[in-house]
Every structure is written in C-alpha cells, then in structure tokens.
Chain A
Amino acid sequence: MHSFGHRANAVATFAVTILAAMCFAASFSDNFHSPSPVASVKILNTNWFQKESHGNDEVSMTLNISADLSSLFTWNTKQVFVFVAAEYETPQNALNQVSLWDGIIPSKEHAKFLIHTTNKYRFIDQGSNLKGKDFNLTMHWHIMPKTGKMFADKIVMTGYRLPEQYR
C-alpha cells in the first residue's frame, strides 16, 4: 500500500473478488424462490394426419397454448426458454419427445401469453405408431439466470389422443 499504483491495484483486485461473491450470492438467492407457473394446451384441430412416403407418421394440428410463467422470473433471471413437446411411448422407445413449439420469454411482462398456432416444428414419428396414440403434451422451460446455474422444470399435461385413422 506504499504507492498510488499499488493501492489502485489492491482496490481493483479486491473489488472484483467481491463482485464474484455478489454474483454467487445473487445466484444462491434463487434457491429461496418457489414459482407457481400454470400452463394449458388445447388441441383445437387435427389438420391432417398421414403416413409419409418413407413410412413415418406425421400429424399437423392447431394448438392453443396458454401459460402464465411470470412467477418463474426473479431479479436474477435473464430470460426463459420454453417449449412444448409431445411425449409418448412406442415399442422401440420408452420415451419419444417431439418439440412442437418453442419460444423465448425475454421478460416478466411477456411471461403471460396465449398463443394460437399450428405446430411450429413437424410432428413426425420414428415409424408408424401414431394412430390412436395416447400422448402427453409437456411444457418444458429452462430459466436462464444473469449469473449462476440454469434451472429447468416442466408441466406435464396428459390425456391427449391422436385420431384412429389418417385424414
């Protein structure tokens, strides 16, 4: 601490060390947050449902996705990535996940939404297992913090069923 430069260096190093500790504390404070998100997805229509030339089933549907994810946001949240996946079981795979729609929520103000859309990404099975298939629509989300670790969680919505016949 004997010279100007030495003192300036000491202030800078200690300040950055503490800044790291503050970021850690901010990240840690997220653990005390218990969100209560709600989501629901309605299938308004099955637009078409067919077997493609190479033998895989594909379905197109119109979805009504509504959710209130504003409780996921804390002061340390940068954005939330959210996607809706169709999840079902086939003889080959215990769990198939097909992403149908996704979105990035940049702020708490945008976290309550209602979206009317056809599936953004194609719903194609690996094979021909979709006729009359029971499936879940699951809303997954990843919370991206400003500092610290990412959190992920989901809401599973059950009781959806694909048509028995191609159309």
Chain B
Amino acid sequence: MDWQGQKRAEMLMQLLLVASAVAAFLVGYAMADFQLMLLVYAGGVVLTALVTVPNWPFFNRHPLKWLDAAEADRHPRPQVSAATTAGKKKIGKNK
C-alpha cells in the first residue's frame, strides 16, 4: 500500500465506521430495537474491515518513483574528509 493509499484507507475507515454507526443508531431507534442496531453496526464493521484492511489494488495507484540505482552512482554523496574516526563506515555506505 502506498502513501496515498494509506491515507485513503484511514479516511475510508473512519468515514465508513461513523456512517454505519449513525445509520445503525437511526434504524435501531426508529424500529425500537436495540439488537437490530447492534446487527446493523456489526455489518458496517465487517464491511469496513473488508474494504480497508486488505491491500486492494485501489490503494496502490500512487507508487513511489524511486530513482534508478545508476542515478546514485552518477551523483555520489559528498565525501567526508577521509581521515576522521568514523571513516570506515561512511566509506562503505557511499560506495
């Protein structure tokens, strides 16, 4: 799931849950049936989970565009002065 997908999933989750809660409460109150409210809400929760939990293709429409590996070779990070104590590690990383 890409960044946009994660944002979308979270918003969808909150929207669906609140909407199903409001719908469930109204139905339950109108029909004077507490159990019906719980059932409608449970349905809403299941639906929300199905929509937002799996990694649907819908959430992967904005893939990150990584630079090509060759690009990094063409623009090497500036070298720190070679003789410092941490030199060994840095050199390894910048290879």
Which of A4, A10, A25, A75 contacts B13, CB < 8 Å?
A10
A74 to B31 CA separation, bound complex (whole angstroms): 11
Q: Could you tell me if B37 and A26 are in contact, using CB atoms closer than 8 angstroms?
A: yes
Which of A19, A29, A75 contacts B41, CB < 8 Å?
A19
Q: Which of B52-60, B76-84, B85-93 contacts A (4 or more CB under 8 A)?
A: B52-60
Which of A11, A15, A74 contacts B32, CB < 8 Å?
A74
User: CB-CB < 8 A to A15: which residues of B?
Assistant: 17, 45, 48
Other A-B pairs, 18, CB within 8 Å; known A4-B55, A18-B41, A22-B37: A1-B1, A1-B10, A2-B1, A2-B6, A8-B49, A8-B53, A11-B13, A11-B45, A11-B52, A14-B13, A15-B45, A18-B17, A18-B18, A18-B21, A22-B21, A26-B34, A26-B37, A75-B31
User: CB-CB < 8 A to A10: which residues of B?
Assistant: 10, 13
Q: Could you tell me if A75 and B34 are in contact, using CB atoms closer than 8 angstroms?
A: yes
Chain B 10-33: CB-based contact to A (< 8 A → 1; otherwise 0): 100110011001001100110111
Q: Could you tell me if B55 and A14 are in contact, using CB atoms closer than 8 angstroms?
A: no
A131 at the interface (CB under 8 A from B): no
User: CB-CB < 8 A to A146: which residues of B?
Assistant: 34
A21 at the interface (CB under 8 A from B): yes
CB-based A-B contact count at 8 angstroms: 59
A75 to B25 CA separation, bound complex (whole angstroms): 11
User: CB-CB < 8 A to A60: which residues of B?
Assistant: none
User: CB-CB < 8 A to B14: which residues of A?
Assistant: 14
A-B contact pairs, 20 of them (CB 8 A): A1-B10, A4-B53, A4-B55, A8-B49, A11-B45, A11-B49, A14-B17, A18-B17, A18-B21, A18-B41, A22-B25, A22-B37, A26-B29, A26-B37, A29-B29, A74-B32, A75-B29, A75-B32, A76-B34, A146-B34
Q: Could you tell me if B9 and A7 are in contact, using CB atoms closer than 8 angstroms?
A: yes
A11 to B54 CA separation, bound complex (whole angstroms): 12
Q: Could you tell me if B55 and A22 are in contact, using CB atoms closer than 8 angstroms?
A: no
A2 to B7 CA separation, bound complex (whole angstroms): 10
A29 to B33 CA separation, bound complex (whole angstroms): 13
